[in-house]
């Protein structure tokens, strides 16, 4: 039996392959046709928002292999779902949650988080690539998720009100605009600033007091050649709540390994607490993952009680 995810991918893929245009642009057209006439796909009810997201994601992944976006790596579902779980637990009890993703790309990570908190979340997405924004925007419409989009360099001034939570798969590398980077505390005295450092600073600037920043970061973030600039900033302007190491098996080689960093914006009366240091087990081991998620749930409940 053909699943809804397969039907969605097949519809977009068949349409895109039939057009003499960039695959991703044709995929946007296919989604627009689907939006205009949902009956075209003959989907099986009930269809979930996660099925819609995954079906579109498969088409985008195919298109990215053929397009001018080889540098953009979509956040793997396994990581996105873990972050969605953590985010929903940290926001437990909040009826309305605002979220910012300053490096949204196609929105895959953002929508995974939004689907985990469906019905009580609205978001702001910032992305400089207009094609990726178009893909993200049509996905937002199909998912019926409320997202405001900004097409710009997220490290320039953002007209975004402070949010309850920031989530981001941090872009890694040097930020080339030294003049703009001079406005950041994390600009080093010599050389270019790391973009992933600046994204952390910009994100926390736009997070409410008591709010959280959840970042996918390089595993060696604290040991880089600019860590002497990063450490004082994190100590003085944030509270490090957790560092969660992701499984090595998710990455092609050790140099690409990543972790999840969870920061909190300090607030009046905030209590000190130990930093959660954890390692995600093999995600194919259901028993080990269940025990790990229990540990995360206990930790998030303790964090929620401190606010």
Q: Which of 101-115, 225-239, 249-263 has the lowest mean pLDDT?
A: 249-263
Residue range 118-135: mean pLDDT, rounded: 96
Residue in 290, 264, 289 with CA at minimum distance from that of residue 275: 264
Question: DSSP labels for 280-298?
Answer: ---TT-HHHHHHHHHHHHH
Local confidence band at 274 (pLDDT 50, 70, 90 cut-offs) = confident
Question: Quick one: pLDDT at residue 80?
Answer: 95
Going by C-beta distance under 8 Å and a sequence separation of 6 or more, which residues neighbour residue 212? 87, 90, 164, 165, 166, 241, 262, 263, 264, 265
- Arithmetic mean of pLDDT, 155-183: 96
Average pLDDT over residues 157-162: 96
At 69, the pLDDT band (50, 70, 90 cuts) reads: low
Measure the CA–CA gap between 205 and 166, rounded to whole angstroms.
Answer: 10
Mean pLDDT of 147-173: 97
CATH code, 77-306: 3.40.50.150
Residue 213: asked if its preceding bond is cis (omega within 30°), the reply is no
Task: Print burial letters for 174-190: b (CB count within 10 Å at least 16), e (below 16).
Answer: ebeeeebbeebebbeee
Q: Which residues make up the CATH 3.40.50.150 domain(s) of the chain?
A: 77-306
- Which of 27 and 254 is assigned the larger pLDDT? 27
Within 10 angstroms of residue 291's Cβ, the number of other Cβ atoms is 12
Q: How many CB atoms lie within 10 A of CB 257?
A: 16
Give me the pLDDT at residue 98, please.
98
**pLDDT over threshold 80, residue 68:** no
Q: Which residues pair with 175 in a beta bridge?
A: 193
pLDDT for 307 beyond 70: no
Integer-rounded Cα radius of gyration of the chain:
20
Strands 147-151 and 121-127: parallel
How does residue 75 score in pLDDT terms, banded at 50, 70 and 90? confident
Report residue 306's pLDDT band, with 50, 70 and 90 as the boundaries: low
Listed in sequence order, the residues at least 6 apart from 237 whose beta carbon sits closer than 8 Å to its beta carbon are 185, 201, 204, 266
């Amino acid at each position: 039996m053909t699943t809804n995810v397969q039907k969605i991918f097949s519809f977009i893929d068949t349409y895109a392959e039939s057009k003499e245009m960039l695959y991703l642009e044709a995929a946007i057209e296919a989604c627009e046709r689907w939006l205009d006439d949902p009956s075209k796909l003959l989907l099986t009810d009930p269809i979930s928002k996660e099925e819609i997201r995954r079906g579109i994601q498969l088409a985008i992944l195919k298109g990215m292999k053929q397009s001018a976006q080889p540098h953009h790596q979509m956040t793997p579902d396994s990581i996105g779902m873990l972050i969605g779980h953590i985010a929903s637990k940290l926001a437990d009890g909040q009826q309305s949650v605002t979220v910012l993703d300053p490096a949204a790309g196609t929105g895959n990570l953002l929508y995974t988080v939004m689907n985990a908190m469906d019905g009580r979340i609205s978001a702001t997405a910032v992305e400089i690539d207009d094609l990726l924004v178009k893909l993200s925007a049509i996905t937002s419409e199909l998912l019926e998720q409320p997202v405001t989009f900004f097409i710009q360099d997220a490290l320039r001034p953002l007209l975004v009100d402070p949010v309850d939570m920031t989530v981001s798969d941090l872009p890694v590398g040097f930020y080339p605009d030294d003049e703009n980077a001079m406005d950041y505390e994390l600009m080093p005295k010599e050389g270019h600033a790391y973009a992933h450092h600046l994204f952390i600073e910009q994100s926390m600037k736009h997070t409410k007091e008591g709010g959280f920043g959840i970042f996918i970061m390089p595993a060696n973030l604290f040991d880089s050649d600019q860590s002497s600039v990063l450490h004082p900033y994190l100590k003085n302007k944030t509270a490090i709540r957790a560092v969660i190491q992701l499984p090595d098996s998710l990455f092609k080689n050790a140099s690409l390994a990543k972790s999840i960093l969870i920061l909190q914006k300090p607030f009046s009366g905030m209590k000190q607490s130990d930093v959660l240091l954890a390692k995600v087990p093999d995600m194919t081991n259901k028993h080990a993952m269940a025990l790990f998620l229990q540990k995360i749930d206990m930790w998030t409940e303790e964090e929620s009680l401190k606010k």
